[in-house]
């Protein structure tokens, strides 16, 4: 079974939830007997990841302009023609933005599976025209894809209620087993001590709420506790520049985009993980923090609440006073040791098996 993947910036070690999802999922599908090709966006390929194979996944780099408004659609159209050229059995598209090309892919005779990760038109960074196209991508993905995967009940309900499609597959995002490290060289390099810092992780975009977190944390005013944000902007924006300026002003540590042992070490020794997002699909960053047994604090948006944390692990989204109160309580709590979470439903091996079943269904069940 030959699978071609578009909608991700690429793998390996490229920032983003869809990218992490793809990096974990597709090598496992190769192990299950699939022949997988991921079409990467040229503007995210660097000398450090300029390879043509990752753990058995074939990588093809196609042109994508370094422009947030054009990058996705240009690359997606080029991607469907590449999928046709190499005679894909399944074209797997990630996200509703790239799904604008679904009807064209179907006209080319391709079987299409779409994974719906997030209602991106809710994100603050997009203007009116972009939001219109994202909503159209959502509509066309649900209407024309052979099979649709929803990564959370929240998204599955959107598909049911808005489009009356009741056969979407609910397949959660996953998380790998934690790589807990005893080493402290990297955190010491950052000027940190074990269990004396708060960690946040993600891209520098408004919907992640890092500006709110920095502003709130600065009011705690405890020199013994640091705030670390691991991540960066895909495209430098006014927001990301202001965020970095605010971080510098309040002595917040920004690591940039990191992977591997540096990230594992940060996760291994943090006091608390905070996710202040306004919008999510099903946040891999939060799942990753949970896999390390970290105490967590997340906004009370539907996607975060679906994970089922204790009530004291949520604060009212966007409410600075509630975040301050909950943050302070978590920082100075007497809790010791790691927190036990049930991570069984977020197993990547299980998710790979479920996804392979979706592919088989797309090939065997006739849908118009």
Q: How far is CA 136 from CA 227, 270, 291, in A?
A: 39, 41, 36
Q: State the 10-residue block means of pLDDT for the chain, 368 residues long.
A: 96 92 97 97 89 97 88 95 97 96 97 93 78 92 97 94 96 93 96 96 94 96 94 90 95 94 96 95 93 96 93 95 95 78 94 97 79
The residue written with tokens 């959502």 in the block is: 138
Q: Determine contact, residues 76/98, Cβ cutoff 8 Å.
A: yes
Is the previous residue joined to 237 through a cis bond, with omega within 30 degrees of 0?
no
**pLDDT at position 123:** 72
Cα separation, 197 vs 238, whole angstroms: 27
The residue written with tokens 């597959």 in the block is: 169
Cα separation, 201 vs 242, whole angstroms: 17
DSSP 112-148: EEEEE---GGGSTT--HHHHHHHHHHHHHHHHH-SEE
Cβ-based neighbour number of residue 177 at 10 Å: 10
**pLDDT at position 127:** 80
**pLDDT at position 292:** 96
| Per-residue pLDDT tens digits for 270-301 | 999 999 999 898 999 999 999 999 999 999 99
Sorted by where each starts, the structural domains of the chain and their CATH numbers stand as 2-174+347-364 (3.40.50.2000), 185-343 (3.40.50.2000)
Q: Determine contact, residues 330/297, Cβ cutoff 8 Å.
A: yes
pTM over 0.85, yes/no: yes
Q: Determine contact, residues 15/38, Cβ cutoff 8 Å.
A: no
**pLDDT at position 126:** 74
């Amino acid at each position: 079974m030959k699978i071609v993947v578009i909608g991700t910036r690429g793998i390996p070690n490229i920032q983003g939830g869809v990218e992490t999802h793809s990096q974990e999922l597709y090598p496992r599908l190769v192990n299950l007997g699939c022949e997988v090709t991921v079409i990467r966006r040229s503007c995210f390929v660097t000398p450090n990841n300029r390879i043509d194979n990752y753990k058995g996944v074939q990588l093809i780099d196609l042109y994508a302009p370094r422009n947030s408004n054009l990058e996705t659609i240009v690359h997606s159209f080029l991607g469907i023609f590449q999928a046709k050229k190499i005679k894909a059995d399944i074209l797997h598209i990630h996200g509703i933005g790239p799904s604008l090309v679904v009807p064209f892919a179907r006209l080319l005779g391709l079987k299409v599976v779409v994974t719906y990760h997030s209602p991106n038109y809710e994100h603050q960074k997009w203007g009116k025209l972009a939001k219109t196209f994202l909503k159209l991508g959502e509509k066309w993905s649900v209407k024309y894809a052979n099979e649709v995967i929803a990564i959370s009940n929240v998204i599955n309900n959107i598909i049911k209620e808005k489009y009356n499609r009741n056969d979407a597959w609910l397949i959660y995002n996953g998380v790998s087993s934690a790589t807990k490290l005893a080493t402290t060289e990297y955190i010491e390099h950052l000027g940190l001590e074990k269990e004396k810092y708060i960690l946040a992780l993600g891209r520098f975009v408004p919907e992640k709420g890092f500006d709110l977190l920095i502003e709130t944390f600065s009011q705690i005013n405890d020199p013994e506790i640091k705030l670390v944000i691991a991540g960066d902007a895909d495209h430098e924006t006014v927001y990301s520049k202001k965020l970095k300026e605010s971080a510098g002003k309040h002595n917040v540590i920004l690591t940039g985009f990191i992977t591997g042992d540096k990230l594992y070490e940060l996760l291994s020794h943090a006091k608390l993980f905070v996710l202040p997002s306004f919008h999510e699909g099903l946040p891999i960053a939060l799942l990753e923090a949970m896999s390390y047994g970290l105490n967590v604090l997340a906004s009370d948006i539907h996607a975060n609440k679906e994970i089922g944390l204790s009530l004291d692990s949520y604060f009212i989204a966007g409410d600075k006073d509630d975040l301050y109160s909950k943050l302070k309580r978590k920082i100075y709590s007497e809790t010791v040791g790691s927190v036990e979470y049930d991570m069984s439903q977020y197993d990547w091996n299980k998710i790979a098996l479920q996804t392979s079943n979706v592919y088989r269904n797309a090939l065997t069940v006739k849908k118009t």
